[in-house]
A and B are shown apart, each in its own frame.
Chain A
């Protein structure tokens, strides 16, 4: 650790680096370096860890806010654009669904597990809509798959058929008491068992 008397160095500082002036230069720089090291290493005033922490916070916020910052960002996971329930929607809607039919032709509600083999209603709804859009080629196997699930369930004795259909409904009126659909389009029917 170089130590050179301050007054001896003051005259040397403006001169070029030579073997004579070098100890003074090292001494000067050492003090600057030590001051910086002290700043960085003393826990009470450590700046670098705080800067790193701040950087992590900023990065986290930027990444999480990126769906709003980037144009045309698609909804994803775990970063979302939160489109669900934010869009404008009309009260009259079309819903694709499947029902069981009993011996008298009455409807029996089917759950997502029976319709699509999953407990997720959105997946069940989307499987039905895709089949409706694809037509016979997708409707027939889907209807058969539903019928097979029913036949191996406890409801096999009460349900004799399956119908895949689209109802056009006024959702507000439905909860107001008028539950009849505005229009009903049956797409496919199949037997159970």
Chain B
């Protein structure tokens, strides 16, 4: 084995197709339900003043907003494709449709003067999954092609998804270091952000954090919190290694998002539900353990 092959083997490792299938079910299942839950909000942009249209990302190709019928059609097709991709039906077609549709729908909703970061990772995972053989197991068309692939393919796919997650967290840390410098950790930057964000929500009638009024007066709480968030974001790099360290990182990052929800009333649903972290864990073992009846049925089928 050459050095290049050795390095690749160390990076990719091996994994069963079921592990990638769990990520597929999680990501596209979540995307479908998320779009259904957010459909009213997505459709509400159709009623906004056309002058507010500020296209971003792939929507930048448009000069003017699309009609509400087109938006509704896009939403319905995307939801259907996400459900299809989730169950592994005609994977090649549904996964690409779902990934493209999800990117366009969510980018369109954000093309009205607000760019949020709560959906970036969902779209990233969906797009990457569409390039991967994620429907070789536990899917409607699962028998097609499964035997022809080696275990490294699934290992590589999962590691690439994990790496994409890590890049997002490292970028968030980079932005803080670039824009706030050391002051972001040692100063009152985080405290000011939490206070301002909650105050704006309060005045504009949105849900604000009940914990903000408890925490904000105590300035000493915030530098350790800022340092912890930077450590978690930069420390994500360690989660590329398999083993206990990545489980610790996943647990800490989940708590980090819980703290954001508690202090800023900002919900990262993809992360808090846990789907974002599926590439880091042995999801198929979790499914087998939590659904013993499912495991028994599969075992009987394979006999």
| Chain A contact residues, CB within 8 Å of chain B | 43-45, 47, 49-50, 53-54, 56-57, 60-61, 64-65, 67-68, 75-91, 93, 95, 97, 109-112, 114-127, 130, 167, 169, 171-172, 174-177
Contacts and interface: CB of A to CB of B under 8 A. Distances in A.
Interface string B129-154: 00100000000000000000010110
Nearest to B108: A77
A65 to B, nearest CB: 6
B199 A93 contact: yes
B214 to A, nearest CB: 9
Contacts of B180: 86-88
B252 interface: no
B216 A172 contact: yes
- Per DSSP, chain B at the interface is helix
Contacts of B56: 75-77
Interface stretch (B112-120, B272-280, B286-294): B112-120
Contacts of B120: 77-80
Contacts of A122: 113-114, 116
Contacts of A172: 188, 191-192, 195, 216-217
Nearest to A129: B113
Interface of B: 5, 8, 11-12, 40-41, 44-45, 47-49, 52, 56-57, 103, 106-107, 110, 112-117, 119-120, 123-124, 127-128, 131, 150, 152-153, 156, 159-160, 163-164, 167-168, 170-172, 174-176, 178-180, 183-184, 188-193, 195-206, 212-213, 216-217
B184 A118 contact: no
17 contacts: A44-B150, A57-B11, A75-B115, A78-B124, A80-B117, A80-B171, A82-B174, A83-B175, A83-B179, A86-B175, A86-B178, A88-B179, A109-B205, A119-B40, A126-B52, A169-B199, A172-B217
A167 B202 CA distance: 13
Given A53-B153, A54-B8, A176 B216 contact: yes
A56 B180 CA distance: 33
Nearest to A62: B167
Contacts of B12: 50, 53
B217 A175 contact: yes
Contacts of B112: 118, 120, 123
Contacts of A81: 171, 175
Contacts of B106: 77-78
Interface-centre pick from A67, A117, A174 (highest chain B CB count, 10 A)? A174
B107 A175 contact: no
Nearest to A44: B150
Nearest to A99: B203
Contacts of A127: 49, 52, 113
Nearest to B124: A78
Contacts of A176: 216-217
A78 B193 contact: no
A89 B189 contact: yes
B167 A64 contact: yes
A77 B56 CA distance: 6
